[in-house]
Amino acid sequence: MAGKKYGKKQDKKANKGKNITETSSLIYKKDDLIELRIEDLTEEGNGVGKIDGYTVFVHNALPGDHVESKLIKVKRGYAIGIVHQMHEKSSERIEAPCPYASKCGGCQLQDLSYGGQTNYKEGHIKASLSRIGQVSEVEMHWDGFRGMENPFHYRNKGIYQLSPKRDLAGFDMGFYRTRSHDLVDVKKCMLQSETANEIMEKFRVALEGSGLSIYDENTGKGAMRRVMIRTTNALNDIDEEAMLVLVTAEVSAEIMRFAKSLAALDGRIKSIYLNINSDPGNTALSQNYDHVYGKVHLIDYIGNTAFKISPQSFFQVNSRQTQVLYDEVVSCIRELENSHSVLDLYCGIGSIGAYVSKHIPEIDKIVGVEVVESAVEDARENALLNGLTNTEYHTGAAEDVITALKEQGEMPDVVILDPPRKGCDEALLQTLCEMDVKHIVYVSCKPSTLARDLAYLGERGFVVERTVGVDMFPHSTHVETVCLLTHISSM
């Protein structure tokens, strides 16, 4: 749709023959009103509209919305706006079920129907792979998008911030607004598990009656800073359990008594820690933990695979969809004729490798590589916990470790890549190509960096054999993708 612009009449003759991106700062200015049809969403959840080829990013706008946007920032190549008036709502726009959705920074898409969310995420993956990765929809061999049957109360971990109320007695407990330290007091979160919500309600009441001071980040005074809760899955014969981690700026006898007393709040609280963090910065947790009560770690499951959960363990926050994601990895490996040895890079606590080992026991060897030493220690413990005998783990940068493995004659049949959002280091991809790797299962949490890496691998002979999308984080813009790649020399 060609947008309309309201404001001073432009001198068309002066701008004749000039590229729109060269003159946009002259054409539009802050506070201008522009009529737009929103066509897409950014990875941050902002609506995208265009007027004569000029891009406008609009906060709180959805694809299909017809809006009048007020520009709050104007640059040469783009502008940022807010919704000044809604002319027509998208057919997929709904009333957000959470009363905090417009305030809290935890969700970007609650006012988009769940069908609309999954359609957007599927389209985002396909568009990224096509535009950046130069992989057409036919070439990506799309095998569907795996959404959630119930896309609420899926998170097994939450960090609740604490702040004293301004000019009032008491405190707020909840989550920050997007890109701010403005705390939204949240009584119940629709993403956290039901158990977490119930326990945090009891915790709030207990803290209100404790007399303990709340940390004020403006003054640096006060004790209680935040609380983290981790919950496990309830299985057929295993009850749900919870771990509390109280983050404090100091330690005192009163704080220790309060921490120990929390065990009586709810029978599902099985572990309590203190985390002492006096750093005035934004780091949520320090490395200084004090075990106060109960179990040192909890046990959680992804399918039939068990994992030890400590306060600092990296563990996927959506256990139900993690099983769906890992099942897709297993399915990709099972498609291959030769998969006796697997190299699991960016392996973290070894969760993918352990799950694959349990489901494909005929694999001779799974070698995990991770740069964080504590994660490697957890991976080894998880292998023992599951009775695995075909796994080994190495600490170090992936490109360095696999070079050493190559020199030792270790040549994997399959490589699993599960990098952070920034994607793989080019040095790693180059080394994999030099090792003549035949098959790669790439697990991505950001379509644009996945597409970039696919373009690199595609130029060196890899083709995509299968692509699947998985919704790990409903109501956010984040999405996971699993790609199976094979080198043309082995086809």
Q: Supply the residues annotated as catalytic.
A: 445
Helix (H) or strand (E) holding 237: none
Separation between Cα atoms, residue 189 and residue 357, nearest integer Å: 35
How many Cβ atoms from other residues are within 10 Å of residue 228's Cβ? 18
Give the pair of three-digit tokens for residue 332. Answer: 């990709």
The residues with which 245 forms a beta bridge, in sequence order, are 228, 273
Q: Are residues 176 and 335 in contact, defined by beta-carbon separation less than 8 angstroms?
A: no
Q: Which of 53, 60, 51 is nearest to 32 (CA)?
A: 51
Q: Where are the beta strands (DSSP E) in 310-410?
A: 341-345, 365-370, 391-395
Give the pair of three-digit tokens for residue 225. Answer: 């800073």
Separation between Cα atoms, residue 199 and residue 422, nearest integer Å: 35
Separation between Cα atoms, residue 48 and residue 60, nearest integer Å: 10
Give the pair of three-digit tokens for residue 250. Answer: 């100091």
Phi, psi of 243 (to 5 degrees): -120, 135
Separation between Cα atoms, residue 37 and residue 463, nearest integer Å: 37
Give the pair of three-digit tokens for residue 66. Answer: 């017809």
Q: Give CA torsion, residues 115, 119, 125, 129, to 10 deg.
A: 160
Q: Where are the beta strands (DSSP E) in 75-170?
A: 78-88, 142-146, 157-164
The length of the chain in residues reads: 491
Separation between Cα atoms, residue 182 and residue 409, nearest integer Å: 55
Separation between Cα atoms, residue 211 and residue 446, nearest integer Å: 44
- Chain-centroid distance of CA 425 in Å reads 19
Judging by beta carbons within 10 Å of its beta carbon (0-12, 13-18, 19+), is residue 381 exposed, middle or buried? middle
The residues with which 162 forms a beta bridge, in sequence order, are 173
